Amino acid sequence: MWKNLPLFPERASALAWQVDGLYFLLVAVSAFFTLLIFVLIFVFAVKYRRSVHPHPVQIEGSLPLELAWTLIPLGICMIFFAWGSLIYFQEARPPQGAMEVYVVAKQWMWKFEHETGQREINQLHVPLGRDVKMIMSSQDAIHSFYVPAFRIKADVLPGRYTSTWFHPTKVGTYHLFCAEYCGTDHSGMIGQVIVMEPYAYQAWLSGGGATGSLAENGQQLFQQLGCSTCHRFDTQGRGPNLTNIFGKPVLLDDGRTVVADENYIRESILNPGAKIVSGFKPIMPTFQGQVSEENLMALVAYIKSLSQPASGPASNQAAASVSSNGQ
């Protein structure tokens, strides 16, 4: 029914209906009360006009009435609040096992990198029916990743990772916009998300262009930058052993415990002194300005791959590197 009405973008993600449902409820409730108020204004104006009621009676407070007009709106607002929070938490928490795509935003383009190493600019290919998690960072200003058909929008910030996710439910090509003013060509910072049937996506993946998976590239960098001289996998090096740390709590020198997530790894590369792991000395040099956003993401992907159960090709590769480093 709405298909030819340009008022609504297509609904192409699992959460799209929920967002629209909440929106429709808000509109319906607002329309209902607006109408009610206007009708009552006219009804009362006619009913209590001066020629019929020359001396109106003052009402000096009424507890039931006041309770009613406080509790009923409160109840209605709570429905919006509860439903809104539910959608928010669903959107804020990427499900386990989601396929990950790394995103670097810059003035004025979107760069995507798949776990398998394929890179794209202003186009993102994803398979139908899988959860897709975006791990995003900006090289310059604040941008915002906005795909109306998926009903998701998330800011992309310089200096840290943010994430969002979606579950595409319909094959097609959907608009990607930057939704945060980021300079002269902000309006041109657009792209496409292409949802494909899984077999077509596999065919697209094998179409080439990849120079090793993201984790493999990260592993190479790990050697090139000399990380492997201190972060050893065989004996205890001068830096912590990075096997199986991802997603786990880490005890710090100052007694705090933090979870080793993407942002923690990023910070530890760029600003190693910020969080020193308990039992280690603050000797690691900073890599600020020496590692590009893309290379940072490769390093993060590599360190993550050291913590996954050996199932995919990336983790097998990582596991193999662990043993070969040990010789």
- Of 103 and 227, which has the nearer Cβ to ligand CUA? 103
- Of 128 and 136, which has the nearer Cβ to ligand CUA? 136
With binding defined as CB under 6 A, does residue 104 bind ligand CUA? no
Size of the site for ligand CUA (CB under 6 A): 8
Beta strands 257-259 and 119-121: pairing type? Answer: unpaired
The distance of closest approach from Cβ of residue 293 to ligand CUA in the complex, given in angstroms and rounded to an integer, is 14
The distance of closest approach from Cβ of residue 189 to ligand CUA in the complex, given in angstroms and rounded to an integer, is 4
Which among 301, 158, 96, 161 has a CA at the least distance from the CA of 219?
301
Find out whether the peptide bond into 108 is cis, omega within 30 degrees of 0: yes
Q: Using a CB cutoff of 8 Å and minimum separation of 24, what contacts does 156-160 make?
A: 156/103, 156/105, 156/180, 160/263, 160/266
Q: Which of 11, 133, 143, 231 binds ligand CUA (CB under 6 A)?
A: 143
Identify the DSSP state of 158: B
Partners of 193 in the β-ladder:
124, 174
The distance of closest approach from Cβ of residue 48 to ligand CUA in the complex, given in angstroms and rounded to an integer, is 55
- Of 141 and 227, which has the nearer Cβ to ligand CUA? 141
- Of 107 and 228, which has the nearer Cβ to ligand CUA? 107
- Residue 138's alpha-carbon distances to 13, 68, 299, in angstroms, are 25, 50, 16
Helices 313-325/214-224 angle, 10° precision = 20
Q: Which two tokens stand for residue 135?
A: 């791990």
Query: What is the pattern of x (binds ligand CUA, CB under 6 A) and - over residues 58-97?
Result: ----------------------------------------
Q: Tell me which residues in 12-51 interact with ligand CUA (CB under 6 A).
A: none
CA distance 279 to 272: 14
The distance of closest approach from Cβ of residue 99 to ligand CUA in the complex, given in angstroms and rounded to an integer, is 24
138 CB-side CA count, 13 A: 19
A 10 A CB-CB count for 5 gives 7
Query: What is the pattern of x (binds ligand CUA, CB under 6 A) and - over residues 151-190?
Result: ---------------------------x-xxx---x--x-
- Of 144 and 321, which has the nearer Cβ to ligand CUA? 144
Q: List interacting residues with ligand CUA (CB under 6 A).
A: 108, 143, 178, 180-182, 186, 189
